[in-house]
Amino acid sequence: MTSKTAPHLTILTGASRGMGLSMARQLLKSGDTLLCISRTSQEALVKEAAAAGATLVQWTHDLADGAALCKRLEAWLAGNSGPWESASLINNAGVIPPIVPLSEAAPDELARALRVGLEAPMQLTSAFLHATASWNGKRKVLNISSGLGRKAMASQVAYCAAKAGMDHFTRCLALEEALKPNGAKVCALAPGVIDTAMQDQLRAADNAAFPDRAGFVNLKSSGSLTSPDAAAARVLAFLARPDFGAQPVADVRE
């Protein structure tokens, strides 16, 4: 971590792999301040932050335990109040539990998927907005959603439910923040289909348990998947748009 205070602060979950790691790398290039929260840290990000003159903080934390993390985040924000030109929270972390029908799902796996994919984003958003309520800079919350939050799919009950819940809590939050003088701009954004480990997991599922498996195999074989770097660039460009938050639920491809 460097001692430089930058005008822009971004808090990013799920920054250790996939699109999250790509977003972290691209955010560091701006030379601003980035707080990454993931189950593991990335030494490569430390080197990239130093090269860019950016401030990097990495916390290792399992988002299935969001309550303890929120207390830490509020305390950290209280001690790092800027002034910032902008402060953004990107809730990117998510997990797909074993791909089986709900009747075969383990209770602990269901609970973990909902805690990481829905409960933690709600908790972190609450902590972020509470801790920054008196800040004068622009505040944004970007929830990384999914097309599966808007389309039902067999053997994906927990993931679909978490993303659908994320969409709707974002709609509710947008109504709340619109009533405040300096309310945060919020959006649940579907980033498109991305070539990540989650796609590997879907393609490796058992045909009998996952009737939509062939469709995900075809996405890969037809070259229809977006690279993590390209997806990250599109998502961050969306976050930077002057009309960010005009639609509380959106798709980067629209």
Catalytic annotation on 159? yes
Task: State the Cα–Cα distance between residues 38 and 93, nearest whole angstrom.
Answer: 8
Question: Which residues face 35 on adjacent strands?
Answer: 11, 57
CA 147 from centre of chain = 14
CB 145, CB 189: distance < 8 Å? yes
Other beta carbons within 10 angstroms of residue 253's beta carbon come to 11
Burial track 21-40 (b if 16+ CB lie within 10 A, e otherwise): bbbbbbbbebbbbbbbbbee
Token digits of residue 47: 């080197």
Structure tokens belonging to residue 97 = 């539990």
The distance of Cα 129 from the centroid of its chain, to the nearest Å, equals: 16
Q: Which residue out of 84, 128, 135, 159 is catalytically annotated?
A: 159
CB 84 within 8 A of CB 9: yes
The CA angle 226-34-75, to the nearest 5 degrees, is 130
Distance CA 221, CA 194 (A): 13
Residue located via tokens 């399992």:
62
Tell me which residues are annotated as active site: 159
